[in-house]
Structure 1
Amino acid sequence: MSSVSMDPLSDVLALLKPKSYVSLGLDAGPDWAIDFPPPQGIKFNAVLSGGCWLEVDGVEPIRLEEGDCFLLTQNRPFRMMSDRSLPTIPANDIYAHAKDGVAICNGGGTFFLVGSRFGFSGAGANLIVGILPPVVHVSEHSDQASVLRFAIDQMARELRGQHPGGFLMTEHLAHIMLMQILRLYLSAPDTEGTGWLFALADRQIGMAIGAMHAEPARRWTLQQLAAMTGMSRSSFAERFKEKVGAAPMDYLTRWRMMLAGERLSNSSEPIGKIALSLGYDSESAFSTAFKRVMARSPRQYSREAAG
């Protein structure tokens, strides 16, 4: 991953390497209700036609209409149905008989849904899923949601048409929709939360995060970061902690260790070289910081990744 990026969201997603494991469609008839097991990772769905109810454990029921999209970010069972009074059937009873990437329920023809499941590499998955609510719902009528329409319609064509390269195309489309939903969610006026993802919506704090991502090896000081944002040191430190949930230097250390973890997992670089590239004068100082953040030494981390 490049160290010159000024786009922290792209940085984090590139580091976590989201992979779309499944892209399936659901074609349901007039009366249906399906019980789904807890998804692993992030579950993405888009309603192409019709409408239904979504029930997630611990969340108020949500009405979904044509063009709506949603993410399920936590390991909770959920249910989808045309009528909430109907008894549910297990999802496996339907999806086990999927043909050409589409599962048929009760004859189909009334409701069509496309979906993917995203898994993340490495120990940093909580950088995304740990700070999002259980359900992120993006209405078709929300501002800018129309930009999702092309990707949604194209995914449906790929699933229905059996075109050459269709599997790779649906995977890339799913990634585009994941990114766009996160963008729309963060830009919504009523979105609130604590964490680096929410802090990006704050111009000054987002600028500081972008600078740290662009130059993780730089010996940043609180004064330098505050000056960059046009704030006093004390005001900057207080606002950063309020928005991100961590002090600026703690956030920088955490980001450095995430970068180090990726390199320890996917390269044969010596630990000393990784340490120097991330601003540490010695391997021992780096190893101490790494163990404090990642709960294991760099060598242990590397061995676990290899295993």
Structure 2
Amino acid sequence: MYAEFKSVDRIGLGAKSVCVPPCASDLLSEVLQDLRLSNATYGRSELTAPWGIQVPFKEGVRFHFVAEGRCLMRSDGLKPVMMNKGDVVLLPHGSAHEIANDSASRARPLAELEPTLVGNGTYRLTAGGGGERSLIVCCTIGFEGPTANPLLEMLPPIIHVRRDKIRDSYIATVLGLMAEEVQTQRIGGATIMARLADIILTHIVRTWVESAEAQLTGWLAAIKDPQVGRALAGIHRDPGAAWTLDSLAAIAGMSRSQFSRRFGKLLKVSPARYLAQWRMRLATAWIRNNFMTVAEAAARLGYESEASFSRAFKRSMGIPPSFVKRPAA
């Protein structure tokens, strides 16, 4: 039933790995594994009421953990989120936002509060009026490799995971370890915090997917589908394979017509269209970030020639692939 999968060297995403028969339940894990941290900044903020901070947009994923006290998060167009001790909030798109002790407190720009840089990518901040104390641990994460990750694109602007929804008891310990590393600045702290941030990000996303399962739509619903999810796993593990409707339906264990209907219902595009879009998104990221040339991307994605790839790219993206390449620094 399963197609034969070759070894795929994931450019920019880690070491070469041998693919196994796709399993729908593992696709979320695989996509999460593809989120390789390239950089991160960490902050430990000791704040006393009244206080408020304007946090500007920054490309990447942000999260805040309330180690002590509480805080209110506000972002344009979204309902305010009250966070209590032990809560974590994730902003998958790096959105600009404010955090404050309550709705009456005025928020000041983060730069104006003059956080103190205490290490490589870590800072401490002390501010406020001397009242009720809150301790907030913050992290902003950047990723290497293709940035066109469907999981991050499908996540809502804010994910709030309450303390009582955290099923894994060790997460509180991990978050505490991160706060301690920011505070103590010991040798190797940046490496340790990167590993901790990886664990926390994966956990938050998994917890949200599990708790919101009944409301999932689109790509997230498709990867949870036991049959369509297997086909998606195949596409994502080997985007350059010579996929056809027949081979994808075989992986899903469905007839061509059944598979095409269910795939289209979940993802709102045909299997062929999804495959083409995913290839072009990968190619855009590879070329833009100088991971490979246009010719290398064409070969990696299964095109017979650079010319045929360039035509397909322009048809899909509206510009030639050479136009997305960033100039050398």
TM-score scaled to structure 2, two decimals? 0.79
DSSP 3-state at the match of 1:113 = strand
- Spell out structure 1 runs of 4+ moving beyond 6 A: none
Question: In structure 1, what is the equivalent of residue 13 of structure 2?
Answer: none
For residues 283 and 243 of structure 2, the distance between their equivalents in structure 1, rounded to whole angstroms, comes to 18
| CA distance in structure 1 between the partners assigned to 2:199 and 2:72 by the alignment | 25
Comparing 262-271 with 67-76, greater Cα deviation is found at: 262-271
Tell which deviates more after alignment, 11-20 or 276-285.
Answer: 11-20
In structure 2, C-alpha distance between the alignment counterparts of 1:275 and 1:208, rounded to whole Å: 22
Report how far residue 180 of structure 1 moved.
1.7
In the alignment, does 2:204 pair up with 1:211?
no
Q: Which deviations, in whole Å up to 9, do the C-alpha atoms of 1:214-267 show, x marking residues without a partner?
A: 232222222222232233322322222232343212222223234434544444
Q: Are 2:70 and 1:51 aligned? A: yes
**1:20 touches 1:116 (CA, 8 Å); kept in 2?**
no
| Higher mean C-alpha displacement, 131-140 vs 192-201 | 192-201
User: In the alignment, is the contact (CA less than 8 A) between 2:46 and 2:126 conserved in 1?
Assistant: yes
Residue 317 of structure 2 corresponds to residue 281 of structure 1 = no
Q: Deviations over 1:29-58 (max 9, x none)?
A: 243232333343322111112212212211
Shift of 1:136: 0.8
Separation in structure 2 between the aligned mates of residue 26 and residue 10 of structure 1, nearest angstrom = 32
Task: Tell me how large the CA RMSD over aligned residues is.
Answer: 3.0
Corresponding residue for residue 135 of structure 1: 158
2:102 is aligned with 1:83: yes
Residue 260 in structure 1 maps to residue 260 in structure 2: no
Deviation larger for 140-149 or 44-53: 140-149
Please state if 1:241 is matched with 2:264.
yes
Aligned partner letter, 1:282: S
Does the Cα contact within 8 Å between 2:249 and 2:256 map onto a contact in 1?
Answer: yes
Mean CA deviation greater in 173-182 or 291-300: 291-300
SS in 2 for 1:141: helix
- Structure 2 partner of 1:73: 92
Give runs of aligned pairs for residues 62-211 of structure 1, distance below 5 A: 62-74=81-93, 76-97=95-116, 101-106=123-128, 110-120=133-143, 124-125=147-148, 127-190=150-213, 192-211=215-234
Most deviating of 88-97 and 38-47:
88-97
For the pair 1:221 / 2:244, whether they are aligned, the reply is: yes
Deviations 1:64-103 (A, max 9, x none): 1122111123464322222222233332232434656221
SS in 2 for 1:255: helix
CA distance in 1, matches of 2:170, 2:317: 38
Structure 1 alignment gaps of length 5 or more = none
Identity of aligned residues (%): 33
Distance 1:197 1:121, change over 3 A: farther
Structure 2 segments unaligned to the other structure (5+ residues): 1-9, 11-15
